[in-house]
Amino acid sequence: MSFESIRRGIAAATVVVAAPFAAVAQDFTPDNPECIAPANPGGGWDFTCRQVGKSLQDAGLIPSTMQVVNLSGGGGGVAFAEVVNKRSDDNDLIVAASSATATRLAQGAYPGNSMDQVRWLGSIGADYGVIAVAADSEIDTLPELLEQVQENPSEVNFGGGSAVGGWDHLKVLIAAQDAGVEDVRDVKYIAFAGGGEAVTQLLAGSLQAFTGDLSEAQGFVESGDIKVLAVLAPERLSGEVSEMPTAREQGIDAIGANWRGFYAPGDMSDAAYDYWVGQLDTLYDSDEWKAVMEANGLAPLDLHGAEFESFVAESVSNIENLSREIGILQ
């Protein structure tokens, strides 16, 4: 599978709209709703848990405050193993997931684990990737940055919140290849436990560029710490982020949308599964969540239950093919 077909698939995924979910079973209510964010505070998974948890509570869709637990390590592998091995029948638990989760599963980075060991609940939007630099950097455009990579790849360090070969890494490789970098394996990438940690190192001067998702970068843009060189979207986004240029308008056809959603323990009861799928679906359809999406640059991706599980399975397959193409998998 070519990079172009991957780009088309990612772009198409952001405009999929699922059929409405059926009436939610009312014979389950969580006693202590909990969301695991498989990274340190400040990253995309942390945003997903905290924002969705708050929104569910504000809308009266859960009976009490959502407890958020940050469980970092292994690019999400520590959290995945915890759920599979120790909390496989916890009906109160949901876990933040994204394209990074599918990437790690596709590359066999969760040893002994596979996507069918958990239940896939639904998506809450797609978060477009960004490539950014410190606000005081002399680099102002993506072509300028990638030209430096072409000339001196060892002097440009990218950093992100996914592991080497993970989704943040792959987004840079897609852009680099389209910009004419002959061997994308020369691109230097440093992995951190979360996007927030990567930005901290960018500001400290240890990195020359940050690769992550718009939701991760938004707060740092607003604080004046970083500037976004490019959003990896087909066209400019609306709302507060409309001034950020796309890679495509700068002549680099790189599109990277990170879906965001949740999985649950594999032995969760059907009643609990239906409850969580239904509540997430109801939240997604609300005007309040649409406002959250616009404020944070999330694109539409409305998939729940079986449709979401099929989507994740296809994502894992596509990323496995891409990883083989660039030599991460043999």
The residues, ordered by sequence, that sit 6+ positions from 330 with a Cβ below 8 Å of its Cβ are 324
pLDDT band at 26 (very low <50, low <70, confident <90, very high): low
Q: How large a percentage of the chain has pLDDT more than 70?
A: 92
Q: Are strands 257-265 and 93-98 parallel, antiparallel or unpaired?
A: antiparallel
DSSP string, 67-88: EEEE---GGGHHHHHHHHHH-T
Contacts of 146 (CB under 8 A, 6+ apart): 175, 176, 179, 180, 181, 252
99 vs 127: CA distance, rounded Å: 10
128-250: CATH number: 3.40.190.10
Q: Is 226 exposed, middle or buried (0-12, 13-18, 19+ CB in 10 A)?
A: buried
pLDDT category of residue 215 using cuts at 50, 70 and 90: confident
| Residue with tokens 């596509």, as numbered in its chain | 318
What confidence score (pLDDT) does residue 14 get?
A: 40
How many angstroms separate the CA atoms of 122 and 184, rounded? 33
Domain with CATH 3.40.190.10 in the chain: 128-250
Backbone angles phi and psi of 299, in degrees to 5? -95, 160
Taking the C-alpha atoms of residue 126 and residue 185, their distance in angstroms, rounded to an integer, is 27
Residues of the chain with CATH 3.40.190.150: 3-126+258-325
- Please report where in the chains the tokens 């990218």 appear, as a residue: 158
Q: Which of 5-14, 32-41, 191-200 has the lowest mean pLDDT?
A: 5-14
Would you tell me how many other CB atoms lie within 10 Å of the CB of residue 250? 18
**CA neighbor of 301 nearest in space, from 123, 76, 93:** 123
The pLDDT assigned to 15 comes to 38
Instruction: Give residue-wise pLDDT tens across range 144-174.
Output: 999 999 999 889 999 999 888 888 999 999 8
Q: Is 204 helix (H, G, I), strand (E, B) or coil?
A: helix
Write out the H or E segment, with its range, that includes residue 36: strand 34-37
pLDDT beyond 80 at 211: yes
The fold of 3-126+258-325 is D-Maltodextrin-Binding Protein; domain 2 (3.40.190)
